[in-house]
Structure 1
């Protein structure tokens, strides 16, 4: 895409949703960190169902350590890989208390040093909590970036680096959320809803779905 096309793409997404944010439910930086760790290979809907039960009971590192792994598992057992996630969440709670005064750290290095926190999770926290222009490339963003021609890449890091180069600075804070939501609800994996896509004329995807004649 040309620079003008990229700017137009984000201009349209921003007009449609001026204040994008994560669909994970949270009230504090710690709650978001836990929710993002739990969301690996799980849906936001499924995570929200679990955290609606968990957070009223335990939403601080101290409280989750009080539950312990087995106690935590009872609240998150509906989420995939819950055994490993319970172990990681309890371990990261311990580190937050021992090294960070119970607070979520503000740097990538400190975040990625926490159990269960990789680059993608760190990017979500840095963007959503601390307002940094980071982009966490999940399956939705990877798909949208490649299909549209916005930032093609063979792996998530290549796509992330490409997006960081081409996204206009004024759209960088919201880009992560706009692209995820577009991939989740419009540019879907099996059958993208091209007829109602607001950026279809800019998109390079060769196999656009035709309009459904049954629709008005």
Structure 2
């Protein structure tokens, strides 16, 4: 539960619209359970298991552009207590957990539901990492299967976030360096060139005037 919002955070959520539900990207109840168990290990057993990865909120602006915010937590104001039902963990138990991070049933066995109490509150700071996140996603997309039907939609979403242009469209034009000319070709499904036809109509007269020996 998020409470005591800053005014800026209130404005961000207001711009996102009443239909928007704020959720951490790719973060489910299973991951929350394991993260809580890691906090218990750190506070009560002095064992630091840093299985965490960067957490993000993806929040749209009022113009429909997706902004990406990295979440930083300060848990200094949270206390952890073991109940009488909490089993005492051995070093072998901890080693087993370290080797089986994704085994949620094992974590629930070592940390039964209701065996610990976590009280307090955390301080959450959001950092706008839209450009950095978009560049990372762009690299992932270009290294993945570019023939996927979703590649154009994904790439357009990335560039819309980077440039804050909600209706931005993109195309693909190849430059043949050996022949010193542009080539209209496809990149994946439906990735047509916008630049090539415009260039032929608008740039060719001045291009040939300055370069009479060039061919296109």
TM-score normalised by L of structure 1: 0.23
Larger gyration radius, structure 1 or structure 2: 2
Identify which of structures 1 and 2 has the higher relative contact order when contacts are C-alpha pairs closer than 8 Å and 6+ apart: 1
Q: Which has the higher helix share?
A: 1
